[in-house]
């Protein structure tokens, strides 16, 4: 998401960043997904125990993750936004078209405005601990 005036961001603008990320997943291209992350970001992924710190680490994770054709949907969230940082945290559900698996998870995205583009600085996702 490119922007003109960094002081006028709404929660709706930040919510759209998840849509941008989710659409990059639907592309099936790990490089499109990785492009939504800041260079020095951290990914603590849902389906791996290994923190992903480098671009190569993230690409490797998403190459595997995308093989099952994921699509995410926000179930509930809380968003906070400042002039150049924001966070979006809550619960999302992933459906995997290839395997038909459904995974409900907790998530947190933090963002930073770099130039005129919001990028993910940290992303934590973990499966819900209780199956219900």
Residue 2: predicted pLDDT:
58
Residue 7: predicted pLDDT:
55
CATH class of residue range 11-127: alpha beta
| pTM, two decimal places | 0.90
Residue ranges per domain, the chain?
Answer: 11-127
Give the rounded percent of residues in the chain with a pLDDT score beyond 70: 93
Q: 64-92 pLDDT, tens per residue?
A: 999 999 999 999 999 999 989 999 999 99
Buried b / exposed e over 49-62, threshold 16 CB at 10 Å, is eeebeeeebbebbb
Q: 22-34 pLDDT, tens per residue?
A: 999 999 999 999 9
For 108, residues 6+ apart whose C-beta sits below 8 A from its C-beta are 87, 88, 89, 122, 123, 124, 125
Over residues 26-51, the mean pLDDT reads: 96
């Amino acid at each position: 998401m490119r922007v003109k005036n960094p002081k006028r961001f709404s929660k709706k603008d930040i919510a759209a960043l998840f849509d941008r990320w989710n659409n990059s997943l639907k592309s099936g291209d790990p490089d499109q997904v990785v492009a939504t992350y800041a260079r020095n970001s951290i990914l603590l992924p849902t389906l791996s125990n290994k923190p992903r710190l480098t671009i190569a680490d993230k690409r490797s994770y998403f190459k595997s993750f995308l093989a099952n054709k994921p699509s995410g949907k926000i179930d509930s969230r809380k968003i906070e936004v400042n002039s150049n940082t924001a966070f979006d945290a809550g619960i999302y559900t992933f459906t995997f078209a290839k395997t038909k698996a459904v995974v409900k998870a907790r998530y947190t995205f933090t963002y930073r405005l770099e130039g005129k583009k919001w990028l993910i600085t940290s992303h934590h996702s973990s499966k819900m601990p209780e199956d219900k």
